[in-house]
Amino acid sequence: MSREHIVDTARRMVEASGVETVSMRKLAAELGVAPTAIYWHVGGRDELLSAVFEQMLTDLPPIRVRGRTPAERIASIARAMRAQVQATPTLQRLALHLGRAPQASFSGHLALGRELTAAGLDGPQAADALRAVLYLMGGFVLLESSLRDRPPSAQRSEDLWRAVDDPQIAPPLVAAMSRPADPDAAFEYALRALLASILPR
Amino acid sequence: MSREHIVDTARRMVEASGVETVSMRKLAAELGVAPTAIYWHVGGRDELLSAVFEQMLTDLPPIRVRGRTPAERIASIARAMRAQVQATPTLQRLALHLGRAPQASFSGHLALGRELTAAGLDGPQAADALRAVLYLMGGFVLLESSLRDRPPSAQRSEDLWRAVDDPQIAPPLVAAMSRPADPDAAFEYALRALLASILPR
DNA sequence: ACCTGAACACCGTTCAAGT
DNA sequence: ACCTGAACACCGTTCAAGT
């Protein structure tokens, strides 16, 4: 019944069934202990979740940079960050819940900073570029996750498009929007478009 | 004690203090009635919130399109959508909670479809472009809102940057990242960069 | 038709009491 | 030092009973 054992158990529960469903009482039952015993070792619920978050952070592998040109290397970082976020949905939900989203991806921020410096960008312009890439990546994964763990009653954008009959919109466009999006392709498209405008050539 | 009166009261409460804090019991107290009376008129909590969502949707003003060139007009739609989302944070939180985010911004989707058609784009390429703009806009506002209503304990990305000491990152870039971001400027920057690559010229 | 009251199965957290 | 039990102030929802 150490603090370590409690945090480990909480982490297993969070990873198995999500942040929301983990309660102090269920955790206590899992530990075979009274709910109030937990408060002696860790603080309240949010302090416990913070400890879980910190533990998961240390297990995060570093971001690997690939490619030769600056555009390739920056794109590879953005892809790696997105992949890491997608591979650790629980960590991301925790980060969001605790308001520590920046910390969960900060090693990627630094990697982007290094590549932009190497590409010859500097100062406010480099910061604009860095933030643009971060916003694009972060926005994408946030959107994707909010689409993924939607409630059962959720509507899909495709279904709304299928009912569209607007003479000012080309029918092939309506047809294309009525098919499910390929998020990977959409991300590649937007990322390339952004980087093409951002980087000096 | 009509269904209408209940939904109106729930809406006032949601707008005043957020989705999470509205409970059936508090709403009942506000109505001067037993909690269980609500169930006769509307269904459970989520059905009630759906009714509030639908009522708020009908009050949404249409998206206004400005500018002469396709790039200007598309940019104006993206800006208007972002402004509308920012002006209706309660509606957006409701949409997210209920999994109806697409519906909350669909008039903007259609406006983009019309402008891309007018710009001569069509089929899958137009759909790629449309989705890229939507993802950029949606991602931005999601990120901004998750930064805005962060818990009191939240860290800011600027504070993390202030502690950075990496010889491979130019000091002026570190300094720029240590200052708070201007979200409006970042959005304009990313939007322009994206549109410059997307639109045929 | 419409509302109440009791009840069920949950929450997080505090705090005095035990060992 | 570490744990329990009772208690407080909450949840959403069901359902028999009242008028």
Q: pLDDT digits over A8-24, tens only? A: 999 999 999 999 999 99
What pLDDT, on the 0 to 100 scale, is given for residue A96? Answer: 82
CA dist list (Å): B76 to A140, B79, B80, B112, B118: 21, 5, 6, 10, 15
Q: Is B116 in contact with A173 (Cβ distance < 8 A)? A: yes
pLDDT value for B198: 86
On whether any CB of chain A is under 8 Å from the CB of B33, the answer is: no
Provide the percentage of residues in chain B whose pLDDT is more than 70. 97
What is the per-residue pLDDT across B175-194, written as a single tens digit (0 to 9) for each?
999 999 888 998 999 999 99
B34 touches strand C (CB under 7 A): yes
Say if residue B152's pLDDT is above 70.
Answer: no
Note the pLDDT of residue B153.
64
**Looking at the predicted structure, is the pLDDT value of residue B42 above 70?**
yes
Please give the structure tokens belonging to residue B40: 């006769």
Cβ within 8 Å of residue B128, ≥6 positions away = A185, A186, A189
Model confidence pLDDT, tens digit, residues B108-126: 999 999 999 999 998 898 9
For position B37, what pLDDT does the model report?
97
How far, in Å, is the CA of B172 from the C1' of nucleotide C9? 58
Question: Is residue B101's pLDDT more than 70?
Answer: yes
Nearest residue on chain A to B195, alpha-carbon basis:
A193
pLDDT per residue over B3-39, tens digit each? Answer: 999 999 999 999 999 998 999 999 999 999 999 999 9
Q: Which long-range contacts (CB under 8 A, 24 or more apart) does B11-15 make?
A: B11/B52, B11/B55, B11/B56, B14/B49, B14/B52, B14/B90, B14/B94, B15/B90
Asked whether residue A186 carries a pLDDT value surpassing 80, the answer given is yes
Give the residue from A131, A56, A188 showing the smallest Cα distance to B132: A188
Please give the average per-residue pLDDT across A52-81, as a whole number.
95
Q: How confident is the model at residue A72 (pLDDT cuts 50, 70, 90)?
A: very high
- C-alpha dist (Å) from residue A49 to A23, A102, A171, B103, B155: 11, 17, 49, 33, 16
Q: What is the pLDDT of residue B150?
A: 64
pLDDT attached to residue A97: 83
Identify the pLDDT of residue A93: 87
CB atoms within 10 A of CB A173: 26
What positions of strand C are covered by protein, i.e. any atom < 7 Å from a CB? Answer: 2-6, 10-16
Q: Which residue of B lies nearest to A181 if distances are taken between CA atoms?
A: B131
- Round to whole Å and give the CA distance between B160 and B14: 34
Q: Which A residues between 150 and 179 have a beta carbon under 7 A from any strand D atom?
A: none
* Residue A138 pLDDT grade (very low, low, confident, very high; cuts 50, 70, 90): confident
